[in-house]
Amino acid sequence: MPELPEVETIVRGLNHKVVGLKIKGAWTDWAKTIKTHSLDKFKREINGRKILRAHRRAKYIMLDLSGGKTLIIHQKISGHLLYGKWEVDGKKVKPAMAGPIKSDPFNRFIRFILYLSNGYMLGLSDVRRFGKVFLGDTDKVENINEIGRLGPEPLDLKFTLAKFKELMRRKRGVVKKVLMDPFVIAGIGNIYSDEILWYAGVMPLRRVEKLTDKELAEIYKYIKFILKKAIGAKGNSQQDYRTLEGKFGNYQNMQKAYQLTGEKCQKHDGGTIKRLVVGGRSAHFCSVHQK
């Protein structure tokens, strides 16, 4: 699933590409994608509205529209938003432009399209069809789905070390699972929890209530560091995710733990990367320096 760095990369691309454009229509081959309206009503509601800005909350992409509406997209497990051109024939979609949107097979599963006033489109490629689209009042987005219950944004200036320690001291359980809980901290998933804990030198199976202040400070430091580094790399394209242009992110070439089972630890400490299952999700860690 795209995590905070991947979603932030998409949002930055949207602010560059689509702000100021009007929405001219919509299409989907999977009516369940749109959660708040029927397709016909959805099209009536969004037609002619101008895109004012793109932002995000956790892994939710938000497009504020004229007239006090906000379009919300959650890409879910296998979805990623693309900016390009497609030809639509009933439920069949094919790229109408050259480049990675056409050549990369991970970009071919277009399930939802927004038509834009400049002739381009926003398309949601989603092989598993789990992506969700919502439309609501801008001043009431907190009421949509789970948004109002989400934890703080880890890159927000208000997310201080003191705030992080306060959150952690109220929790019990395995530290990897706590970091991945969107109602504790927004936007950290399987990839970046592994990476954060590798850098911090903390075993994913450690109980959060038993971590020292020093260990919490290290985790906090590397939450900020890793998320910023991954955004700079335009995310991780080891699996389905691609940028808005359909290109690869680069963080998969920088990772230290995630899906590197059996490889030597890059700290050159004599350890190897091991894998365990934590709450149904894989955890990757060094057998030596993570304690």
DSSP code at position 22:
B
Active site residue 2: yes
Residue type, 229: K
Tell me the C-alpha distance between 158 and 151, whole Å. Answer: 12
Torsional sign, CA 228, 229, 231, 235: negative
Of the candidates 133, 96, 142, 94, the one whose C-alpha atom is nearest the C-alpha of residue 112 is: 133
Q: Which of the residues 3, 8, 45, 195 is marked catalytic?
A: 3
Tell me the C-alpha distance between 104 and 84, whole Å. Answer: 13
Alpha helices in 75-160 (DSSP H): 100-103
Can you give the length of the chain in residues? Answer: 291
Tell me the C-alpha distance between 221 and 214, whole Å. Answer: 11
Q: Which of the residues 2, 5, 95, 154 is marked catalytic?
A: 2
Q: Which of the residues 17, 59, 242, 274 is marked catalytic?
A: 59
Tell me the C-alpha distance between 133 and 124, whole Å. Answer: 10
R_g of the chain computed on alpha carbons? 20
Active site residue 281: yes
Of the chain, the end-to-end C-alpha distance in Å amounts to 27
Structure tokens at 182: 């969107």
Active site residue 59: yes
Q: Which of the residues 76, 108, 224, 281 is marked catalytic?
A: 281
CB burial of residue 94 (10 Å; 0-12, 13-18, 19+)? exposed
- Which residues are designated catalytic? 2-3, 59, 281
